[in-house]
Structures are given as C-alpha cells and as structure tokens.
Amino acid sequence: MNYPADLAVSGETLYLTEIETGRVLSVPVTGGTPTPIATGLNRPYGIAVSGGIVYVAEIEAGRVVSVPTTGGTPPPWPPI
C-alpha cells in the first residue's frame, strides 16, 4: 500500500484510500492482497461504506464520489 489515508470496515472487508495514488482499495480483514475498486481519484481521503456503496471525499476536487463495493467508475456528486 502507498500512503494509506483513511479506512472503513464493512462486514469482513476493509476499505481504504491511498491519498497519493488516487486509489480506493478493498482487502479482507483476515488479510490478503488489496484489490483496487476505484482509481484516478483526486487525493481521496475520507471514506464511508453503507449499503454496498463506498463514499469517498476527494479533498483536492472538493467533492464526494460513490462507487459500488465491487468496484467501478465513480460518478461525481455535486461539489460540496
């Protein structure tokens, strides 16, 4: 992992942001290889998980994006 910034746990999965690489990763809480579920984000920092969706704050872009816990391209929310 590179520059982990924030994390959230849902069930048996840990989700974390890598602020410098612009990625959100998932990894089993029991350990294993991290899997990117979102890439190309603008300094992702804050993270929360609810109902199968991961919400991530992009601190440089001033917005929140959401992505399914299974991964995908995050559609932007309006600027905060």
Please tell me the distance from the alpha carbon of residue 27 to that of residue 31, in angstroms, as a whole number: 7
Q: What is the pLDDT of residues 19-72, one digit of tens each?
A: 999 999 999 999 999 999 999 999 999 999 998 999 999 998 888 889 999 887
pLDDT band of residue 80 (cuts 50, 70, 90) is: very low
Three-state DSSP class for residue 2 = coil
Checking if the pLDDT of 77 tops 70, the result is no
For position 11, which CATH number holds?
2.40.10.500
Domain of residue 40 covers 4-68
| Count of domains observed in the chain | 1
What is the 3 state secondary structure string of 12-80? CEEEEEECCCCEEEEEECCCCCCEEEECCCCCEEEEEEECCEEEEEECCCCEEEEEECCCCCCCECCCC
